[in-house]
Amino acid sequence: MAIHGTDSLDAVVGWMDAMRRGELDDIKRWLDPEVTWRGVRAAAICRGRGEVLEMLRGSLEGRLGAEAVELVAGDGAAVLGAKVPALAEIGGVDLRGQLFNVFRVGRGRIVAVEDYARRDEALAAAGVKAPEWL
């Protein structure tokens, strides 16, 4: 019996580790060949593993440095939030030093990623609720 969100959590944590190490071959392993990545502006989209890897290569070179991350997993999706003070805006969208990615996972690989400027929008898009901490 699978634990709720396990596949999505495993895939995103594996991808995060590969990103942290800057290992493009390991990053590639976590991405479905037909993966899409939509930026905070809907017109900004990468289609296919090659385009996504090229975009991520630029991210690795720029290393902005996250102060905090949050990962909330659900069935087939996970939301990764990152507090990155140096990240003020992308394409004219005010990010207030934070960015939220919705990762959609299928068959153990990331099949789509959507970027959001606001946490509540990302959680709603992923169909997950914020955790209730004690």
Q: In sequence order, what are the beta bridge partners of 112?
A: 36, 104
Spatial strand order in the sheet of 98-106: 45-47, 31-38, 109-116, 98-106, 77-83, 68-74
For the chain, give the mean pLDDT: 88
Residue 85 CA: distances (Å) to CA of 21, 41, 128, 133: 21, 20, 25, 25
Which whole number is the average pLDDT over 50-54? Answer: 95
**What's the CATH code, domain 6-126?**
3.10.450.50
Q: Determine the straight-line distance between the first and last CA of the chain, rounded to whole angstroms.
A: 26
Residue 50 CA: distances (Å) to CA of 34, 83, 88, 109: 9, 27, 27, 15
CA nearest to 103, candidates 8, 26, 30: 8
**What pLDDT score was predicted for residue 90?**
77
State yes or no: pLDDT of 42 exceeds 80. Answer: no
Q: Using one digit for the tens of pLDDT, what is the confidence trace for 103-126?
A: 999 999 999 999 999 999 999 999
Which whole number is the average pLDDT over 12-25? Answer: 92
The three-point CA angle 6-10-11 to 5° equals 120
**What pLDDT score was predicted for residue 64?**
61
Residue bearing tokens 């959680």: 123
State yes or no: pLDDT of 63 exceeds 90. Answer: no
Which whole number is the average pLDDT over 53-69? Answer: 79
Question: Per-residue confidence at 23, pLDDT binned at 50, 70, 90?
Answer: very high
Q: Using one digit for the tens of pLDDT, what is the confidence trace for 74-105?
A: 889 999 999 988 777 777 787 888 999 999 99
- Are the beta carbons of 93 and 40 closer than 8 angstroms? yes
**pTM, whole model, 2 decimals?**
0.89
**What pLDDT score was predicted for residue 3?**
37
- Are the beta carbons of 91 and 39 closer than 8 angstroms? yes
